Amino acid sequence: MNGIVALRNVVEAFVNFVYPPFCSTCGRTLRRGEEYVCASCWESFERVPRTETIIQLVEEKFLADEAVDGIDSVFLFEQDQRVREAVHLLKYNGAEVIAERFGLFIAKKIVNDSKLSMCDTIVPVPLHPARQRERGYNQSELITRSLSTILGISHSPHLLIRVRQTKTQTLFDAEGRQKNIKGAFALGRISLDDIGGKKVLLVDDVITTGSTIKECARTLKICGVSEVYAASAAVTI
C-alpha cells in the first residue's frame, strides 16, 4: 500500500467516523456511491399508485379554476415516513444529492408523457428572497436543475418570483392556504414576448392542497403562458 492510498483510507475512516454512513431513512449502512438514502429505500418508497389517481387529483385540486392543465407526482408524502424524511433532508440539510434523485425520479415518471415532457421550459416554485437567503438555496430549483439536465428542457429559475412573504402553508386548511398565497407571485425580469403562448412545467418538492401551484399557474397564465403543467417529487393524496 503506498502512502497516498494509506492517507486516503485514514481520511475516509475519519469522515465515516464523524459522519456515520448510515441511510437516513432505514438506518442501514450505506454502500459506496450511496449518500443520505440507500438505493433500496429509494426503490421502495411508496409511489403514487396509478395514473387514475393523478387524474382524480387533478380534478379535485386543480381543474376547478383551470389554471393547471395536468400534473404528475412520484412519491406519496403522507403514507411513507421515509419520503417525509427525504423531503426534510432536502429542505434542511442542503442535500443536493436528494434533489438530484428527486429530479431523476420525476424525469423517469414523465419522460413518456406527451404533455409534461414537451414543455418549453421548467420553472421551480420560487421561495421569497429572504427565505432563500436563510436556507441558502431553493430546494425546488435544485430539483428543476436536475430535471432540466436529464430531459434536455430549458430551466428558468427566475421566470417567477415570490413578491410577498407568506406564512407557512401548514398553518392553514385548503381555503386558508388559497387566501394566504394569493398575489404572492409575479413574473421576474422577463419579456412577456418570451413566454407568450409557451408551455411551462412548474415543479415543487411537495404538492399538498395545490394552492401554491395553482397561484403560480394563475400568475403565468395572466402573463400569457398558454399551458401550465405541474410535477412534484411527492404529493398528498
State the cell numbers at 152.
434536455
By beta-carbon proximity to Zn ion, the closer residue of 98 and 123 is 98
Site for Zn ion in 5-64 (CB under 5 A): 23, 25-26, 38, 41
* CB-nearer residue toward Zn ion: 85 or 215: 85
Q: Rounded to whole angstroms, how far apart are CA atoms 110 and 127? A: 24
Q: Is 86 in the site for Zn ion (CB under 5 A)?
A: no
Q: What is the largest CA-CA distance in the chain?
A: 67
Per-position DSSP letters for 33-94, written without gaps between them: T-BSB-HHHHHHSPBP--HHHHHHHIIIIIGGGT---EEEEEEETTT-HHHHHHHHHHHHS-
- Nearest CA-CA partner of 92 in 134, 30, 50: 134
Closest CB 102 distance from Zn ion, rounded Å: 16
- Which is nearer to Zn ion, 38 or 220 (by Cβ)? 38
Q: Considering the rule CB under 5 A, would residue 98 count as an interface residue with Zn ion?
A: no
The yes or no reply on residue 206 touching Zn ion (CB under 5 A) is no
| Shortest reach from residue 118's CB to Zn ion, in Å | 34
Task: Kindly list the residues in this chain that would bind Zn ion in the complex (CB under 5 A).
Answer: 23, 25-26, 38, 41
